[in-house]
Structure 1
């Protein structure tokens, strides 16, 4: 039996899936521990049910995913508005160094992924779905580049990318603490006794941070997002005319970054919190829709290569953090904290990076510099750079 849902029914189902995921996430603590998003939890459960129904010829559900593209573009547009060179300059030299290291990691992950895919006689582009697309980019980037690669003939790209992103969230949390703790104890690093005041929020955008709701500010935030999306559509058409292949949101992200930096120069205040909030809402619905449409049966033939490629990426992350990041960032306690953070967002998300740092500094003492640098790189710049690096790889190997 097949059920076809229209756009309104699809969004109602996506809403139910998201809040069911939030319900399950609260009751299974390991999901909260590894920062698995509610949309991913709910979407994966839905996809597994659809797999069971398909294998037993019980039911298939066809979704109207018209709004998926809109939500995806809105989310990445909000990311573009964080690419402020003023903030990069304020962060100092260590921000630049950490950003360069993160960029090298992105490139290396993709080289490894493409190489291993070729060794397994698979499409080299499939290797990108175990590289920086899911690991540095997370589920959001996986949901945007996966369909693009499938459109280029890479079967199962979206499913592999989402599976890799989920693996990365878990492994990034485990690896970060292990690598940093080993560095501290083996090198007998001098730690500190100062602890962070838990009453001070890490981010103004934390879900528990209650702010005054303002229609005017939300409207302004939405206006800035749609303005950049419109300009981005023109940029996209121009770049496509040059014969380049890239996801549709790149133009909007670039437009948002340009607008942001022009506003910084002209001292025009944007509604940063509102743009961030609207971007977060868009991401939740985008991920719910994307996960609900996964074809998990496409993983059957790729199981062994996928496992080997993800293990290889884990080894790469450990070696890169332990032997390169630690030395470049100063070979001291703060350098070890940087290693734990990079393991977090290098295989998962910035939320994992902060969680890794919190766990480490709770035991050994507060490290000021990583808490300044990591959010700037992980929240503001690395997603922007990652998208362009991936685009280059797609155009080289596509």
Structure 2
């Protein structure tokens, strides 16, 4: 059974509301900051699992809408980001960046050694390293063709996407409890009454009042960002550099 792009997009919206409802109902999910999207996605994966192994029904999804929505997602992040805030990071930001780069290298080394241990091309391990775990879905898709067509590594995309999803689930289910534990141990609290800059408020949410002009203006700015991004991607496509479309 194949679910086309339109129905898949509609299902994704529904699953987000399912995740939002479950997070609102179960306090343990809020306590450990488990994202609503992850909860809804796991609910969908559980249903697909039951249908496949319990009833012999295999679901496949047309992911045509995914690529466009991925660009809108990152364009929205870019439009809501102020590069001047990087100046306030100071020394802690530099330390965090250094640690992140070190872990990216560690991901690739561990991935290559695991691939070698299983008798595979060591370069296969890069798809379960920083390409998927740090780069995410967009980077995995951008590099998949190079791995399959140039390096001759079959199933590179499936391997990278699987690693990416496992990484997302692990980050959400492990990171939240660890952060909660560290905050409790060191008695850390948010300073003042400032609202969250990143994340989702689970209670007393402030909803922006938008008319249709505001919605259309937001879409217009997003489309301008995407159009400019396409031009940037065309300029950097000439050197031997492979970048995801969402970077531009």
Q: Same fold (TM over 0.5)?
A: yes
2:209 is matched with which residue: 207, 212, 215? Answer: 212
The match for 2:222 is 225
1:157 aligns with 2:156: no
Higher relative contact order, chain-length normalized (CA < 8 Å, sep 6+): 1
Pair 240,96 (structure 1): closer, same or farther in 2 beyond 3 Å:
same
The match for 2:5 is 7
Q: State whether residues 149 and 157 of structure 1, in contact with CA within 8 Å, keep that contact through their aligned partners in structure 2.
A: no
Whole-angstrom CA distance in 2 between matches of 1:66 and 1:126? 26
1:240 aligns with 2:237: yes
The match for 2:136 is 142
Q: State whether residues 34 and 176 of structure 2, in contact with CA within 8 Å, keep that contact through their aligned partners in structure 1.
A: no
Alignment of structure 1 residues 287-326 onto 2, 5 Å: none
1:22 is matched with which residue: 17, 20, 29? Answer: 20
Tell me the CA shift for residue 218 of structure 1: 4.0
Pair 228,52 (structure 1): closer, same or farther in 2 beyond 3 Å:
same
Alignment of structure 1 residues 175-190 onto 2, 5 Å: 175-176=178-179
TM-score normalised over the length of structure 1? 0.49
- SS of 1:35's equivalent in the other structure is coil
Q: State whether residues 113 and 127 of structure 1, in contact with CA within 8 Å, keep that contact through their aligned partners in structure 2.
A: yes
Would you say how many aligned residue pairs link Structure 1 and Structure 2?
236
Tell me the CA shift for residue 179 of structure 1: 6.4
- SS of 2:237's equivalent in the other structure is helix
Whole-angstrom CA distance in 1 between matches of 2:56 and 2:230? 41
Tell me the CA shift for residue 72 of structure 1: 0.4
Pair 113,38 (structure 1): closer, same or farther in 2 beyond 3 Å:
same
2:195 is matched with which residue: 188, 191, 201? Answer: 201
TM-score normalised over the length of structure 2? 0.73
Tell me the CA shift for residue 13 of structure 1: 2.3
Aligned-pair Cα RMSD in Å:
3.5
Q: Structure 1, unaligned stretches of length 5 or more?
A: 185-190, 252-398
Pair 196,236 (structure 1): closer, same or farther in 2 beyond 3 Å:
closer
Tell me the CA shift for residue 71 of structure 1: 0.9
Pair 150,41 (structure 1): closer, same or farther in 2 beyond 3 Å:
farther
Tell me the CA shift for residue 14 of structure 1: 2.3
- SS of 2:59's equivalent in the other structure is strand
Q: Structure 2, unaligned stretches of length 5 or more?
A: 149-153
- SS of 1:156's equivalent in the other structure is helix
The match for 2:246 is 249
